[in-house]
Each structure stands twice: as structure tokens, then as C-alpha cells.
Amino acid sequence: MIKKAIALILIAITVFWSFYVLLPSKISNIDAPNNAFSTDRALVQLKEISKAPHYLGNEAHAKVRDYIISELEKLELKTEVQIDYSMSQWGNLSKPKNVLARIPGSNSGKALLLLSHYDSNPHSSVGASDAGSGVVTILEGIRAFLSTGKQLKNDIIILITDGEELGLNGADIFVNKHPWAKDVGLVLNFEARGSGGPSYMLIETNQGNANLMKGFVAANPEFPVANSLAYSIYKMLPNDTDLTRFRADKDIDGFNFAFIDDHFDYHTALDTYERLDRNTLEHQGSYLMPLLTYFADADLTNIKSTEDYIYFNVPLFKTVIYPFSWIIPMLIIALVLFIGLLVYGLKRKAITVSEIRKGYGAFFIALLVSGGIGFGLWKLILIVYPQYNEMLHGFTYNGHTYIALFVCIALAICFYVYHKVYNVENTASLLVAPLSFWLLICAIVAFKLQGASFFIIPVFFALLSLFVVIRQKKPNLILLALLGMPLLTIMAPLVKMFPVGLGLKILFVSCIFVVLIFSLLISVFGYFKHKNRLSVVFIIASVWFLISAHTNSHFTQNTPKPNSLIYMLDTNSNTAVWATYDDVLDTWTEAYLTKTPDNADLLKQNTIGSKYKSGFTYTKKAPLKQLQKPVIDISHDTIVNGKRQIAICITSKRQAERVEVFSDTTNVFYSATINGVSAYQNTDSEYVFSERLNNRLFSYFVTDNELLDIIITVPESQETSLQFYECTYDLLTNAMFSVPDRKANMIPKPFVLNDAVVIKSSLTIK
């Protein structure tokens, strides 16, 4: 009984340890040595940077840029500002203003580039985490590094980009237009997609990662959080960062360091200095300092590799790496060992066919029931709590409670199901089913998702556990718990990582992972006669977490409801509407949309761009306001060889901050140049804008109140219709509207056009 208790405690401690080692437990204070990174010193700079929203083009944006320049100049670095127009593949045009500095090294080889961005997301985010945290990590890291007085071999380039939030525009003009780009050998990029949690290391490369990983291990960061599965998934998702431009456009490799927890703060008014996790900022510094020291002297001309490495982090060993070429041999060895142990167990009668059948039944019942309940329960929760759909992040404020809830449900199911097949001597037989399924998973990922091939490591320890339980009728449960430690330290963090990184819709995957982990630990739990009692414990815990989630399901000042409202004036029909992206209206939006709003079908034809393709949901007729309309002029219109070239100039009379341009998909465009930049053209099409969504051609984010000049080439006979939506973010400050501030338990909804006054103008060229 004592050994069972100790084994349980060891398992619990190991789970706790697997999370504890992911982050520094304390931060470096203001009195840290001058040559060391200090989170407290970085926070002083962050407080200045994150005083107000500083999206491209607004007044606070210029102040933040000037502050960064002044901080670099305090370090006696010569700075420059790179300015140019850029149009991203996302269809976003802007004129970013990058801040650059360079520290010369003693060699003439490749340079190390430190990268982050200083613009916040339009229009309400103050950008403390995304990416003020990255900016101050670099500023404080460079200060500490320079104070050592060490003579470095490689040049260090500091690039604080602009326009990242709009379409990686600042990175685009540096990579493709700045002369320093050809000198870059490696990039360290610091980013955020939340306001806390561990920072994940993700590699950006077009080739093999072997030399990158060898360098990362040699640099020896104290708290590495990295696995090749995370990057395999990352590459499948539309989560580009500035570093993407380096890899995609110039084949320059790099490391991304990004924290993703507390995702509900991302791009919102909650991304503040106060809400940034201090340990997370310390974690960013713990990456930068050793990597900066190592790669400042490393041979950056030897970064490229044709070989890929598997990598994952575990306590004590930090980052474990091995080549892809080991994947198949390790799989074969594991299969041979499994078959050998199966034969050996049958001969010793420690394994029986009848008990193996029971084991398969228990395993698949636990797997299917847990995964099914995980999938269905979240769908039910969204029906019961429709307000969760207002959080476009896919991760609610009480999301961590839901993770705990679903884990407890899966554990309750596992303990109950395996209680039904308990036999004092069948533990070895029960291990056969999960081991065979794990081996099947390893075989699949070996060919389809090689980054996950480190899953074979827990299998080897489970095979060793199987050998122990075959050999001994009453094995030492403490030893078996210790053999389960690699499984828990590698796999337990993934249970949380998936819903945090991909949203709570993935909770069923966490349930499946719980079953996979539990089933290999049956080498320990198989000897527990009263597993049903533990099932009851986890059912009680599930009820507790369900009550806690319900209690915290409403919106408060600390967990405010995102909502949206815009005013749109159509100059052609001389009508106006209020519009929203919300599914659930509240007292603030109902004041304009009423309790019986109209459907927004007419507006959905032209959906103003949003990160998650959200469209307007409701509208209501609004009073006409005497707004200054933009001036739209056609400066020339010529026909050459059956193609018509038209130059259009749009001038804002009210300092527009954004202009959206649409055209019906029946209109085709041979070419388009916007403020001197050519529109992106798919190589498979003779037209530009050939794959537009909801009629959208492009978005222009305005700097310095500059004009919008468009030159389009269309078929001679085409009747070309264009719609322009000129936007300002002043709905709540414009005296013509008198829209009150939101209540304390509300914030502007992110990822959509919000708090905007929009003027729609149409132009038809016959």
C-alpha cells in the first residue's frame, strides 16, 4: 500500500515537474549585474513602449519609434530608419518605417540579426506582449552584451520592424530592398501570441535543421521549450512572422521564440504592461543571452544543412536531438523488442490471449469514449454559453479550467474502464494493446509527420516496464513509476500545448493524449485493485472544475466581453447603417442596433478583412452625418492593344487610417500598381487579384495622410466597378456621433474593423 502511494506521488510530482521546468521560477531584478539580462530593467522600457495603441501611422506609433531610437543611441549605436512601400501577399499595403542598428565584428563573415517589431495591432491593442516584449528583450540583451566588453567575431544587426501586424511589410522591405540583407546568416526573432506561458522555440528553414539544432544545444539555454512536432504543426498553419520573409524570400534561416499562453489577450486592449507574465519575459531573456553569446562567434556561413534532426526538451537533459535517419531503425528495434517480449510473456504465461483481448477492449473503449466526450462536450458548452463565440481567439478566459475539466473526465473514464478488467496477474497483458497502438502511431508519423517521431522514446521505456512485469509477479511499483517519468515529462506538456496553441476546439485531442499516457502507465495502475475509487475522485474534480468554469463564464472587468460597432455611410445611395460583427449583442451595441437588428447579408458581399474571415452579422439604419467624402479622380485613361490602363487617385479629406478596395469577381485585372508597388500575381494566373475573397482587392493602411494612387490594366471592353471603404478609428471620439465609452466589462473586439467611421464610395468605369 505504501509503495502504491509513493508511486502515485511520484507520478504527480513528475507531471508537476514537467511543467515547472518550462519557465524560470523567478525574475532578474533591477540590481542584477550590469553584464546580465535584467527583466526589471526591460520592464522599465516596456512601460514606456506600451502606454497607448501604436499601430502604423498613428501619433503614438511615432513616439514609440523615437523612444527605441533613443535607447539604441544611449548604447552609442548609430541608427537608421528604413522607409518604403510594401504590399504583402495578404493584400495589405503600407509604408513601414524600420529601425536599424549594426554592431561591427572582427570578421567579414555573415551577420547575426536580432529581430522583433514595434507596431501594435490596429486599433486598440497597446502591444505590450506583441511585440513590445520582443523589443525590450533585444534592447536589454544588447545592453548587457555590450557591457561585457567582449570583442565579437560576427556583426550583429538589430532590426525592429514596422508593419508586421499588417502583413510582414517591414520585414519585406528589409529582406528585399536593404543592402544589409545579403549579409545576414542567421536570425533570432522574438514574438508573442498571448501574454504568458513558456516561450516555444520554432525553427524557420527551407532545408535541414541539423546545424541549427547543434548550435542551439551548444548555446545551452537554461529553459529550452522546443519539439520538432510543434514546428511540424506550425508549418501547416497560417501563422507567419517576420522571420517567414527571411526564409521564403532569401533562404535565410532563423529561430522564432514565441509565447502563446493567455491567448485571450492577443491583439486586444488587454495586451498590457500589467498583464504580461514577468517569468515569460525572463524566459525570452534566457534564450537571447546564451544564443547571442554563442552565435556572435559561431561560423554563420555553415548554418545550412541537408539533414533534419528530431528534437524535444526534457528536464535535466534540456534539449535532446538525434537525426531523422534514426527514425526507421529505432522503430524497427522497438517492433522487434515488442514481438520478442510478447513471445517471451506468452511462454512464461505472464501474458494470455484472453487478457490481451480484454486489454484491447478497455483501451479502445477508453480512447473512443474520452475522445467522443471531449469532442461533443465542447460543442455542447458552446451552445450553453454562446458568449464564448464572441472570443474569436478560440480560447476563453476560463480556458485553463476547461483543460483541467477535460483531463479529469478522461482520467475518470480511464480509471473506471480499467477497473472493470482488473486481475491481479493481467497487467502485462493489458500493456499489449497500448504498446501496439503507440507503435502504430510511431509507424505512421515516421512517414507522415516525422517531427513527432520522438514519441518512440516513451515506447522504449514502456517496453522496459513490460519486461519488468513479465519477469516479476509483484514488481516494484516505485521502479515502474520511475520508468514512466520519460513518458510524463515528454508527453504531459502536450496535453496543455494543443488547446492553448490551437484553441479549445482541440480539447478532444487532449483527452486522447490523456488516454495514451494513462494506458502506458497501466504498468503501475494495473496493480491498483480499487481504480474505481480514483475514478470517483476525478469525477468529483470534474464537477468542481465544471462549476468553476461556469462561475467564471460571465464577463467582468478582468475578463471583458469583446464587442464591435461601426458606422457606414454609403455616398451613392445616401444611406447609413450601424453594423457589428457580434453574434450576441449587449447593452452597448443594442443602443444602436436595437433588440431587433437587421441581417447583414447586404454587407457580406464585401467583407472587410479580418483574421478569422469574420463577416458582419447585424445592421440597423443610422442617421445621415455630413462627413467629408474622399475625392476620387481619374488622372488618365488609355487603351493600348486591347488593354485599358486607368490611373485613379483617392484623396481623404478626414485623414483616413485605412482604405479597403473591392471589385466584383467578374472583373479581371491584368496588372495593378498601388503607390508604386505591383500587386501580387499568382504564377498560375495571367491576372492579379485572381484569388480574392469576398471581392476584396487590397487594404491600404495610411501613413502621413498620403494619397492612394492606383494604376490598373483591364480588358478594353470590361465595365469595371470599384468600391472604396475609407475608414477612421474615431467612432468613440468623433463629436458628430456621441458614442459613449464601453462599460468596464467590455473591450473592442480584435481581428476586425472596429470603432470605425466608414464612408463607402463606388466608381464604375464604362
Look at residues 365, 438, 369, 377 and name the one whose alpha carbon lies nearest to residue 403: 377
**Phi, psi dihedral angles at 616 (to 5 degrees):** -65, 140
Identity of the residue numbered 674: I
| Mean pLDDT (the chain, rounded) | 94
Kindly report the number of other CB atoms within 10 A of residue 36's CB atom: 14
> Is the pLDDT assigned to residue 686 strictly greater than 80?
yes
343: left (phi over 0), alpha (psi -120 to 50) or beta: alpha
Residue written as cell 466608414?
758
- For the stretch 490-540, pLDDT in tens is 999 999 999 999 999 999 999 999 999 999 999 999 999 999 999 999 999
Identity of the residue numbered 744: A
> Is the pLDDT assigned to residue 293 strictly greater than 70?
yes
Look at residues 429, 453, 430 and name the one whose alpha carbon lies nearest to residue 365: 430
Q: Are the C-beta atoms of residues 374 and 510 closer than 8 Å to each other?
A: yes
Give the mean pLDDT of 119-139: 96
Distance (Å, rounded) from C-alpha 484 to C-alpha 362? 20
pLDDT at position 615 is 87
- For the stretch 39-50, pLDDT in tens is 999 999 999 999
Cis bond leading into 123, ω under 30°?
yes
- What's the DSSP call for residue 75? T
643-651: strand order across its sheet: 631-640, 643-651, 708-715, 671-674, 677-678
- What's the DSSP call for residue 491? H
> Is the pLDDT assigned to residue 234 strictly greater than 80?
no
- What's the DSSP call for residue 321? E
pLDDT at position 606 is 79
Set of cell numbers at residue 520: 502506458
- Three-class SS of residue 88? coil
> Is the pLDDT assigned to residue 239 strictly greater than 70?
no
pTM score, whole prediction: 0.94
Q: Which residues, 6 or more positions from 697, have their beta carbon under 8 angstroms from its beta carbon?
A: 91, 661, 662, 663, 669, 672, 679, 689, 722
Q: Are the C-beta atoms of residues 730 and 758 closer than 8 Å to each other?
A: no
**What is the enclosing helix (H) or strand (E) of 658?**
strand 658-662
Q: How far is CA 709 from the centre of its chain?
A: 34
Distance from the first to the final alpha carbon of the chain: 88
- For the stretch 640-667, pLDDT in tens is 888 999 999 999 999 999 999 999 989 9
Q: Quickly state the pLDDT bin for 612 (edges 50, 70, 90).
A: confident
pLDDT at position 238 is 62
Q: Where do you find CATH 3.40.630.10 in the chain?
A: 29-314
Name the CATH code of domain 29-314 (choices 3.40.630.10, 3.40.50.10790, 3.40.50.2000, 3.30.70.360).
Answer: 3.40.630.10
- Three-class SS of residue 638? strand
* Percent of the chain residues past pLDDT 90, beyond the cut: 89
Look at residues 109, 9, 124 and name the one whose alpha carbon lies nearest to residue 60: 124
